[in-house]
Homo-oligomer: A and B are copies of this chain.
Amino acid sequence: MNKLLIVGTVAFDAIETPFGKTDKILGGAATYIGISASFFNVKSAIVSVVGDDFPQEYLDLLTDRNIDISGIEVVKGGKTFFWSGLYHNDLNSRDTLVTELNVLADFQPKVPQDYKNAEIVMLGNLHPLVQSSVLDQMETKPKLVVLDTMNFWMDCALPELLDIIKRVDVITINDEEARQLSGEYSLVKAAARIHQMGPKYVVIKKGEHGALLFHGEEIFFAPALPLEEVFDPTGAGDTFAGGFSGFIAQSENVSFDNMKKAIIHGSNLASFSVEKFGTERMIDLGKDEVVSRLKQFKSLTQFDIEL
């Protein structure tokens, strides 16, 4: 198997949806990515930072899933990054209520020595300079670098964002962010423009409407599984990214055909993530359930027209 290096936030979230609200619970992009990738046979590590208010049980939860946490710095006397959000009735939009950067404000990522030759690097949503710093520390060129980002960095750190975009193989962003980054409304045109910025592969996430993978003239589409109810969308995109990069690391194959499978695995895992608050559903999730829902994905999309 390939080694998977994950960088991103490990955090506290407080979430309110039409179905209820939580106190501070385990959250953060790297947390979701790591848990999702742990459904594959991979050797993975997280690079992140927390304060010493971060419970040991949350760290244990990661190590229990065979995630190397030696790259998670614990800042003495520091407070962990905290985000709080309120989802609107249709769950497609949300307001951020609180963002306390805390220890994230001065975060200097340190890649563990054992992961400076990781074949797959998953750059979760963070300041583009932090993402760049992780790539700078690699001692061998990764087979695949995947970047997740969001509109916030397009607004506040566009030059730095464009620098890191140049250096990655795959970028995953949502439809509105693809439009903002490219200045194109058509997602086909947007993907073409983003290709020109560097990434050979562009993944555009459309939430409940699925995800598109663009590679030159080739396009692949994975639907989201139609669900009776979405309970909490927090972390769905990160869970998708974790499934995508985890499957690629396990299969040691960065071809377009294999990425199609990776997109399906990512969509499959994300469909569980939204069923309960935070990481709750992913923690309880059994491999039999994962396989059973993959079968649903197959019957949802596969047809037989002879040409």
Q: Indicate whether A305 reaches chain B with its CB closer than 8 angstroms.
A: yes
Partner of A226, one of B185, B212, B261, B299: B212
Instruction: Say yes or no for A65: interface residue by CB 8 A criterion.
Output: no
- Asked whether B299 lies within 8 Å of A307 as measured between CB atoms, the reply is no
- Cβ-defined contact, A261 with B301, below 8 A: no
Copies in the complex: 2
Q: Is the CB of B226 within 8 A of A300?
A: no
In the complex, A186 Cα to B303 Cα: how many Å?
25
- Chain B CB within 8 A of A187 CB: yes
Bound-state CA distance A185–B18 (Å) is 13
Any B CB within 8 A of the CB of A87: no
Residues A209 and B206 in contact, CB atoms below 8 Å apart: yes
Residues of A within 8 A of B (CB): 90, 185-189, 206, 209-210, 212, 218-221, 223, 226-230, 257, 260-261, 264-265, 291, 294-296, 298-305, 307
Q: A261-B304, A264-B303, A295-B307 are in contact. List 18 more A-B contacts (CB 8 A).
A: A90-B185, A188-B227, A189-B229, A206-B209, A210-B210, A212-B226, A219-B296, A219-B300, A220-B303, A221-B226, A221-B300, A223-B223, A264-B305, A294-B305, A301-B301, A301-B302, A301-B303, A302-B302
A-B contact pairs, 19 of them (CB 8 A): A186-B227, A186-B228, A186-B229, A187-B226, A206-B209, A209-B209, A210-B223, A218-B299, A219-B296, A219-B299, A219-B300, A220-B303, A223-B223, A260-B303, A261-B305, A294-B307, A298-B305, A301-B301, A302-B302
